[in-house]
């Protein structure tokens, strides 16, 4: 029954397949807002991968679906159409000065691999710059939200270069799970500590309280506590100003009476 259905349906019309071409899938569309410029490979490739996953087209750049693996001519044609769509999206999202050297590629996967080979082979200088920035970043006069946003942007880019590896110990899934869990916890601990180090000195008490907790609270929890503290400080400042103004206003008639 399933084979009969497959023989009747055009692969490009089956929404469950990678070949599916939605009417809104315009080959001239800009799939991601960030254009690849040779200096932003990691951020761009991640954004593009996410966009392709949403479109159910990630298989065309990770080589999990190749034309040579298809025997049915209908599927080979459907693959070619979908591949060319992804190819167009890729070309559209690349800066003009780079685009020219890629125009004659016929496979989306080949372009993807070419870009990876060219621009991801030497990440040492970028990692060095990011680590240096993370070591020196501080809150200064910025609000908690501003400092957190700036810090998180740097951190996310840094860990994109240093992802946690997917370890496997044969069939010992428990071993794999424990290793990944330990690495993830260590990475999150570093994340929180580096953020706390850059806080303004006025948060030193809260900083000490958080560092004494074992395990360290999550970044979401730390951020929430700091926002509450910042809001409380703002409220205290407003109340203090209001009281001072009231005292000054109350003292004014007394001066006038004494002067009389």
pLDDT at 114: 94
Structural domain boundaries in the chain: 2-119, 124-220
Spatial CB neighbours of 75, under 8 Å, sequence gap ≥ 6: 11, 19
Tokens describing residue 216 = 């360290």
Q: Which range among 59-63, 81-85, 197-201 shows the weakest confidence by mean pLDDT?
A: 59-63
pTM of the model: 0.63
pLDDT at 253: 57
Determine contact, residues 47/34, Cβ cutoff 8 Å.
yes
Determine contact, residues 200/226, Cβ cutoff 8 Å.
no
Tokens describing residue 137 = 């970043």
Determine contact, residues 67/181, Cβ cutoff 8 Å.
no
Mean pLDDT value across residues 153-165: 85
Helix then strand count (H, E) for the chain reads 10, 0
3-state SS assignment for residue 166: coil
Higher-confidence residue of 204 and 2: namely: 204
Mean pLDDT value across residues 128-148: 95
């Amino acid at each position: 029954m399933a084979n009969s259905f497959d023989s009747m349906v055009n692969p490009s019309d089956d929404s469950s397949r990678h070949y599916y071409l939605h009417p809104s899938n315009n080959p001239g569309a800009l799939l991601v807002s960030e254009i690849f410029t040779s200096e932003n490979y990691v951020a761009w490739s991640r954004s593009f991968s996410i966009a392709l996953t949403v479109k159910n087209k990630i298989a065309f750049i990770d080589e999990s679906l190749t034309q040579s693996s298809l025997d049915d001519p209908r599927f080979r044609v459907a693959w070619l159409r979908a591949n060319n769509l992804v190819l167009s999206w890729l070309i559209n999202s690349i800066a003009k000065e780079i685009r020219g050297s890629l125009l004659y590629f016929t496979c989306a996967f080949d372009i993807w691999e070419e870009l990876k080979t060219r621009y991801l082979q030497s990440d040492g200088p970028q990692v060095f710059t990011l680590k240096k920035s993370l070591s020196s970043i501080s809150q200064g006069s910025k609000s908690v939200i501003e400092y957190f946003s700036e810090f998180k942007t740097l951190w996310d880019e840094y860990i994109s270069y240093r992802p946690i590896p997917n370890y496997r110990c044969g069939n010992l899934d428990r071993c794999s799970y424990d290793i990944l869990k330990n690495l993830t916890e260590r990475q999150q601990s570093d994340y929180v500590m580096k953020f706390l180090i850059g806080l303004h000195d006025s948060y030193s008490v809260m900083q000490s309280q958080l560092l004494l907790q074992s395990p360290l609270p999550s970044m979401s929890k730390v951020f929430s506590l700091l926002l509450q503290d910042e809001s409380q400080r703002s409220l205290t400042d407003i109340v203090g100003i209001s009281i001072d103004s009231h005292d000054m206003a109350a003292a004014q008639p007394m001066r006038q009476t004494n002067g009389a």
